[in-house]
Amino acid sequence: MLLTYVDESHSSEVYFLGAVLCPETEAISLTEALDEVVWKAIASYGNITPDTELHGYDIFHAKRDWDHLSGKPRARIGVYADALQAIADHDVKIILTGVDLVGLRRRYGENHDHPHSITLTHLLERVDEFAKRSSELALIIADECEGQEGYRRELRQYRATGTWGYKARKITTVVDTIHFAASSASRLLQAVDLVSFLFHRIHIDADNDPRAKKANEQLWARVEPRVVHRRVWYP
């Protein structure tokens, strides 16, 4: 069984969904490894608790639980690097799907489908494709968001009649429903948040400082070998 953790990252330019596909045999080990990242941060910098969330935006910008590291960019990069390395050290796969929001509005106007629905459809197709190729089943665990029941209905429809678009397919390997959970309670949802946030930031070229660009690239290099699909749809 592939435990498939899903989270979004978006800006005015692009909307991303990422997925970390974690074999059930790796889930406990990866959770413990990410717990160790937090314990290491406690030992090194203090001022956080063992249940502190590894949230990409907060670590990167020194917000909320990580605000005491606001003047320590190397420390924040170190925490982020430790977390990404923990992910990379496990037998997980990463899928990233996105949609260009400028092109979406230009082509379809303001009545287009919600970008979360669009990217989730593409994500489910690729998860199903990978799971079928690997002779696996996939269970979807997503970060809480608005419109949850609608996304569950869409999955039921995709099982019955298939998805839409030029890569339309009938979803056959995703079991049960989409399970939504709070990222604060799940290290594995935090894992996909870290991955999605960093990839999004690199994709939109958010940093002008060459040192920040280099740091981001070095961070991404840790998990890039785990990526089996990444695509942004430009309508």
Q: For residue 95, what pLDDT is reported?
A: 98
Band of the pLDDT at 111, cuts 50, 70, 90?
A: confident
Written as six digits, the tokens of 220 are: 């991404």
| CA separation for the pair 199, 14 (Å, rounded) | 11
Band of the pLDDT at 202, cuts 50, 70, 90?
A: very high
Written as six digits, the tokens of 84 are: 């990404």
| CA separation for the pair 190, 187 (Å, rounded) | 5
Q: For residue 10, what pLDDT is reported?
A: 94
Band of the pLDDT at 217, cuts 50, 70, 90?
A: very high
> CA separation (Å) from 127 to 9, 93, 141, 198?
18, 10, 12, 21
Position 161: which residue type?
A: T
| CA separation for the pair 16, 10 (Å, rounded) | 6
Q: For residue 103, what pLDDT is reported?
A: 94
SS (H, E, C) 101-163: HHHHHHHHHHHCCCHHHHHHHHHHHHHHHHHHHCCCCEEEEEECCCCHHHHHHHHHHHHHCCC
**Model confidence at 110: pLDDT above 90:** no
Band of the pLDDT at 230, cuts 50, 70, 90?
A: very high
For the chain, helix (H) and strand (E) counts, in that order, are: 8, 6
Mean pLDDT of 202-226: 93
- The residue among 20, 47, 22, 41 whose CA lies nearest residue 194 is 20
Mean pLDDT of 143-150: 96
| CA separation for the pair 131, 19 (Å, rounded) | 13
pLDDT tens readout for residues 147-198: 999 999 999 999 999 999 888 999 999 999 999 999 999 999 999 999 999 9
**Model confidence at 215: pLDDT above 90:** yes
Average pLDDT value for the chain: 96
Question: Percent of the chain having pLDDT more than 90?
Answer: 92
**Model confidence at 79: pLDDT above 90:** yes
| CA separation for the pair 179, 5 (Å, rounded) | 10
- The residue among 232, 222, 228 whose CA lies nearest residue 136 is 228
**Model confidence at 23: pLDDT above 90:** yes
Q: For residue 145, what pLDDT is reported?
A: 95
DSSP of 11-43, one letter per residue?
-SSEEEEEEEEEEHHHHHHHHHHHHHHHHHHHH
